[in-house]
Structure formats: C-alpha cells, structure tokens
Amino acid sequence: MNTFYKNIRNRSLGYLPFLLCLLLLYSTPVLREFTLVNGAIQLFLFVLVVCIPAYITKRMSYVDIGWPWGLVCIGLLVLFFSEGYWLRTYIVGAMYLIAGLRMGIGALVLWYKGHLNTELTRYQYQRKRWIKQGYKNDNLSLQYEIMIQCLANSSFLAIPAMLQAYNPSEFIDPLELIGYCIWIIFFALEHVADIQKQKFLKKCRLENKKRQVCKVGLWKYTRHPNYFAEWMVWNGLIISSVPSLKQYFINDVSLIGVLLLLALVYISRIMYTTLVYYTGAIPAEYYSVQKRPDYKKHQETTPIFFPSKPKKLKYRNEND
C-alpha cells in the first residue's frame, strides 16, 4: 500500500511543472486564448494519434508521430492567432512548422514502412525503468508517459511561439537574429547528421557489414550529434524569445515576466534531460553496447553529447 501511494505521489509530481506552466500561461491575459486552444488541440491530437493506438497495441512509439505534429499545430496557431509584428510571426511560425513537418513526416514514413510495428528501443528502455521503480501496470504507465509529452506540447514547448506571436514591436532585436541564426545552423546540422547516419547504414548493408559503429562526419565528434543539434535548435528558439519578454517589464519588474523567463530557460533543461537521459542517448546506448562489440571503445573516445575532438585510447603497459 505504501508503494502504491508513493507511486501516485511521484507521478503527480511529474505532472506538476507542466500544470504550473499551464496555470502561468492561463494567468497571462494576452496568452490565455492561445493556451486554451492549443491545449485542446494537443489533447485531441494525442488521444487520437497516440493514446488510442498505444492502448490497442501496447506500444509507446506513436509518441514519435504525435509530438512533432503537435509542433505543426503550434506553428499553425501562431499564424492564425498572432497579434504581433507580421515578420516575427511568420519567422517563428515557420520554425515550428518546418521542424514539426520534418520529424512528423519522417515518423509517418517509419509507420508506413512498418517500423512502428515493434516498440522502438528507447521506449523498451522505459519499461525497464517502470519495473525498477515498481510500476506494475503497463497500460497506466503508457498513458502517463504519453500525457507528459502532451502536456509539454501544451505548455513549455509552446512558450517561444506564444511570446513572439504576441510581440507588437517592429524592431527585430539583435538577440532575436542570433537566436534565428542558431536555429537555422543547428536545424541544418541535425538534418546533415541524420543523412550521414543513413548513408553509413546503407553502405554497411551493401557491404554486408553488421553491428558497425557510426563514426563518420559529425558522428566523429559526439556520439549523438542529432540530439545535440536538436537541443541547440530549442536554445535558438529560447534566445530569440527573450526580447519578446520586454513587454512584461515595461513599467516595473513583473512577477509574470519573471516566471515566463524562468519557464523559457526551463525549456532548455527539459530538452537536455529528454535528449540525454529520458528517451535519448542513455536509452539508445543501453542497447548499442549489447549489439555493437566496438561501442564501448567508442564511448571511451567520443563524448556522449557535447561535441569535442575525439580522444585517443590509452593502453596500459602490462610491464608497468
């Protein structure tokens, strides 16, 4: 019984940051309508595209379809609800649409080719966490994890779009330009990293080489260049949104302004945690070590996330 109540408490705490963020956005009059409409759309999308298929198939992989198409919805809402400067609106709306469509179309291709007929490894790893943490009801755990992503799309991940969509200033701040440039550069690098990985895998198939470790191009400098680039894409969005907070600090230090700034910064933490620990690098490497004999050596020479020059392996002298 104690374990039961402990699990309820822990999962309630998991929802808490997202619910507090939603409360903050709802409490901000200019953002209230966008928050309500986006929340309703995200809930409808996730129930239809993720929750129901997951309940039927017992697989969580449908999140990979739901969350990027949720970004597409945010981008469309920006174009529809915007009351700010048209140029800024088009830019941030396009950023969400392009990023969402890239991942969303890719997920649909995987689904069409049958890759979602089995659970993706990162979601298999989640089940190991559930067992370790004492969660025995897989159906409940599936729906809990899915709704975490739904709440993220409804709250934190929509903040950059909302802030910029309601910024009336016709002056494009240098910080906005820096953020936009970071977004473009790392969006391109993420795409390049994916292409390099696909070419590597195709070459391995043609040469009948199995269980090889990808160390070409950007993959020489980090074990997960696509994840690092995705994190930087969001950091670009965050940086470009900071000038839009000025309207909340015109007269004095506004509590809502401070909280929005903290929520904006928290997005970077959410994405880092997700891409490294939650469904990113750590889950992927758990299986890579088992499948690829040289992967442990790769871990010793190449950083997991932040790019740097590869290290040389140091071999101990048995006579020392």
Task: Please provide the DSSP assignment of 52-84 as one string.
Answer: HHHHHH---TTHHHHHHHHHHHHHHHHHHH--S
Mean pLDDT, residues 44-50: 97
Q: Is the pLDDT of residue 1 over 80?
A: no
pLDDT tens, residue by residue, 140-191: 999 999 999 999 999 999 999 999 999 999 999 999 999 999 999 999 999 9
Q: Is the pLDDT of residue 216 over 80?
A: yes
Mean pLDDT, residues 108-117: 91
Mean pLDDT, residues 270-299: 93
Residue % of the chain over a pLDDT of 70: 96
From CA 218, how far away is CA 224, in angstroms rounded? 9
For the chain, what is the largest distance between any 2 Cα atoms, rounded to a whole number of angstroms? 73
From CA 204, how far away is CA 210, in angstroms rounded? 7
From CA 267, how far away is CA 246, in angstroms rounded? 19
Q: Is the pLDDT of residue 251 over 80?
A: no
From CA 277, how far away is CA 267, in angstroms rounded? 15
Q: What token pair was written down for 93? A: 């709306």
Q: Would you state the pLDDT for residue 115?
A: 86
Q: What token pair was written down for 52? A: 């129901």
By the 8 A CB rule, do 229 and 280 touch?
no
Q: Would you state the pLDDT for residue 154?
A: 97
Q: Would you state the pLDDT for residue 134?
A: 85
Q: What token pair was written down for 297? A: 């050596």
Q: Would you state the pLDDT for residue 58?
A: 93
Q: What token pair was written down for 293? A: 């004999």
Q: Which residue has the tokens 């160390």?
A: 215
Residue-wise DSSP of 184-235: HHHHHHHHHHHHHHHHHHHHHHHTT--SPPP-SGGGGT-S-HHHHHHHHHHH
